[in-house]
Amino acid sequence: MADLSATYPAVSDLRRKARRRIPHFAYEFMDAGTGQDQAFGRNIADLERVRLSPRALRGPVARDLTTVFLGQRYDAPFGMAPAGGTGMIWPGGERILAAVAAMSGVPYTLASVATQTPETIGPIADGRGWFQFYPMADKQIQKDVLSRAQEAGFENLVVTVDVPKMSRRERQMRAGFQMPPRLTPRMVLQALANPGWTRAMIQAGRPELATLTPYFAHVPAADKMAEIGRQLHPEPGWDEVERIRKVWRGKIILKGIIHPDDAVMALDKGADAIWVSNHGGRQLDAAPSTISVLPEIRAAVGKDAAIIFDSGVRSGLDIARAMASGADFVMLGRPFLYALAAGGKDTVQLCVRILSDELENVMAQVGAQYPADLPLALVRT
């Protein structure tokens, strides 16, 4: 790990390595936003504008990253956000991420459009797994998927509500990415330029949306992805939250909240937490950055409401900035995917360590003993 730390001292170094190690189409699938990537850029730029005030002569402080969130103890106030099709980035990616999360004492969120099933990942996550879910048009399939996730040991359900329709994601289109992957001459050339990824992919077999595909075995192969897309984006209303609340026995988190009124409504409808997110800039290029709306959402829901934050987080300093601005917990997507693509399990472990070390260092600079102390360091403008 010491040698890896010297090679990759920051998440940005893992990103550069990932870009060289996997094919261009897989990298664009992982990294792209939508439109001209303006929302993607705003998320990062606006986080960088958040200022924290150093404090002097605080004496020795026994800093502790341990955080209790939604009744469960974690070793740090951050975790791994859901990412569909992770097996396209590196074969067996969900298994690697879940195993490292369990080992590190942080949560891992399995996407319903992952390339591994909840039955496979639940035991690996070892009680720290969250399950991400899109409301579905077919309520019988929806009920069955939710039942499977609960039986597999997932307690927190993350209901993604900011994808009424998939965005165009032009960078992916330009790169020739499609799901399921279809070999084109351009993709073959890119794969041959990345032999390590290609060998691993051949050994693992072509990735598919393992949780959902069996429900559509009767659909012709050429139409299967389109049918799954129709099922996943029925443009649900608020009554869907109440319907899910009746069948899910654990905690429910609504992901994709960006407006204060929606945050208040989410809690009124029975959500246990809200997840402030603009989908990492992947849905609406005109969307505000999540950090710019976080303080207003916190004011709207009050100090006791549970708030998760994502979008644009690239460091432990960004985690501190988000928590200082009103978040109780922070989830990261791309940084862990960069780490996965850069070197597998070892670099994912390194990513957890980088983020933890950076966060602890920031806490030392501002005199915070616990992550919950970070709002005291916020420089208000």
Going from the C-alpha of 253 to that of each of 49, 134, 249, 266, 335, the distances in angstroms are: 28, 12, 13, 9, 22
d(CA 5, CA 313): 20
Residues 352/340, Cβ–Cβ less than 8 Å: no
**Identity at 299, one-letter amino acid code:** A
Q: Give the sign of the dihedral formed by CA 177, CA 179, CA 185, CA 187.
A: positive
Backbone angles phi, psi at 332, to 5 degrees: -125, 135
Q: Are strands 251-257 and 273-276 parallel, antiparallel or unpaired?
A: parallel
Q: Give the sign of the dihedral formed by CA 284, CA 288, CA 291, CA 293.
A: negative
* 279 carries an active-site annotation: yes
| Residue of 24, 218, 259, 279 with catalytic role | 279
Residues 175/81, Cβ–Cβ less than 8 Å: no
d(CA 189, CA 106): 38
Residues 24/175, Cβ–Cβ less than 8 Å: yes
| ∠ CA 246-250-255, rounded to 5° | 85
**216, two tokens:** 């559509």
**Cβ-based neighbours of 252, under 8 Å, separated by 6 or more:** 156, 157, 159, 241, 244, 245, 270, 271, 272, 273
Residues 80/329, Cβ–Cβ less than 8 Å: no
Q: Is the peptide bond before 180 cis (omega within 30 degrees of 0)?
A: yes
Residues 52/378, Cβ–Cβ less than 8 Å: yes
d(CA 142, CA 131): 13
d(CA 166, CA 58): 50
**8, two tokens:** 């990759």
Active centre residues (catalytic): 279
